[in-house]
Amino acid sequence: MARDLTFAVADLHGRFDLLEKALEAIGAYAGAEAKTHVVFLGDYIDRGPQSRQILQRLQAGPPHGVVWTQLKGNHEDMMVHAARDPSLMPWWNRNGGDKTLASYHGTGISPGDDLAWIENLPCIYVDPHRVFVHAGVDPAVSLEAQSEKVLMNKRYASGFPDGHGRRHVVHGHSPHEEGPLLYPGRTALDTLAWRTGRLVVAVFDDKVQGGPIDFIEVR
């Protein structure tokens, strides 16, 4: 019997090559019968060389029969703030924004063309068993009351094991080259893919509580 599967992809940071490999691997893993949902955890841009290509691919949408949910990361938030306030441009550039701007050069496409889509991205996705977010959640605050600052910028204490209530938290943002890191209540997926060339996708069975049932690694 085909399973309902959710795949989580974190912190692409301009590595369009890894996005393409991940999408191919997800399709092969799910097969034709599975109900497939892919959640992208944000930080699509900066640091790596092909931010524009990632943004345009994500906006193009999934293949027939597949559902995508795209969340906002702190780097997308930086881009929006720098576009609104040019005095913040040096701050964004120091954090990889220069690589994002370079990916637009000579294309006839402006970063402003993608801003409306970025601004409207949600910061959290919740299903019956899990919370998907870029950086993390405050376990003492209801999911409805979480601040965007926490959702996009939180750093968990090393080894912190908990999720949010009965839900497992799936996040990126905090890089670990040796990751992913798996705890009873949360899974941390950022493997510094833009530098290591190693992206790990988490696989979840929608009917099973807790953490991932499998991982897919692409290089």
The whole-number pLDDT of residue 34 equals 78
Is the pLDDT assigned to residue 6 strictly greater than 80?
yes
Contact in structure between 16 and 50 (CB atoms under 8 Å): yes
Distance between alpha carbon 64 and the CA centroid of its chain, in Å?
21
CA dihedral over 139, 142, 143, 147, signed as positive or negative:
negative
Q: What is the model's pLDDT at position 155?
A: 98
List the structure tokens of 181: 């890191």
pTM of structure: 0.97
pLDDT at 180 (0 to 100): 98
Report whether the peptide linkage leading into residue 180 is cis, meaning its omega lies within 30 degrees of zero: yes
According to the model, what pLDDT value does residue 2 have? Answer: 67
Residue 213 has pLDDT above 90, yes or no: yes
Under DSSP, is residue 97 helix (H, G, I), strand (E, B) or coil? helix
H helix or E strand, kind and range, residue 177: none
**Total domain count, the chain:** 1
Residue 9 has pLDDT above 60, yes or no: yes
* Helix ranges (DSSP H) in the chain: 16-30, 51-60, 74-84, 89-92, 98-102, 112-119, 148-153, 193-196
Q: In terms of residues, how long is the chain?
A: 219
Distance CA 207, CA 73 (A): 27
Question: DSSP character for 218?
Answer: E
Question: What are the tens digits of pLDDT across the range 184-211?
Answer: 999 999 999 999 999 999 999 999 999 9
pLDDT of residue 1: 54
**Cβ–Cβ under 8 Å, residues 39 and 125:** yes
Structural domain range at position 211: 4-218
Render pLDDT for 140-150 as a digit per residue (tens, 0 to 9).
Answer: 999 999 999 99
Q: What tokens does 84 get?
A: 């609104």
- The answer to whether 21 and 218 have CB atoms below 8 angstroms apart is yes
pLDDT cut 90: percent of the chain above it: 94
**What's the pLDDT at 26?**
97
**In this structure, what CATH number is given to the domain that contains residue 50?**
3.60.21.10
Q: Which alpha helices (DSSP H) does 145-217 contain, by range?
A: 148-153, 193-196
- Whether 14 shows a pLDDT value over 90: the answer reads yes
Give the model confidence (pLDDT) of 157-181 as tens digits: 999 999 999 999 999 999 999 999 9
CB count, 10 Å around CB of 112? Answer: 9
- Tens digit of each residue's pLDDT (9 = 90 or more) over 30-86: 987 779 999 999 999 999 999 999 999 999 999 999 999 999 999 999 999 999 999
Helix (H, G, I), strand (E, B) or coil at 206: coil
- pLDDT at position 3 is 81
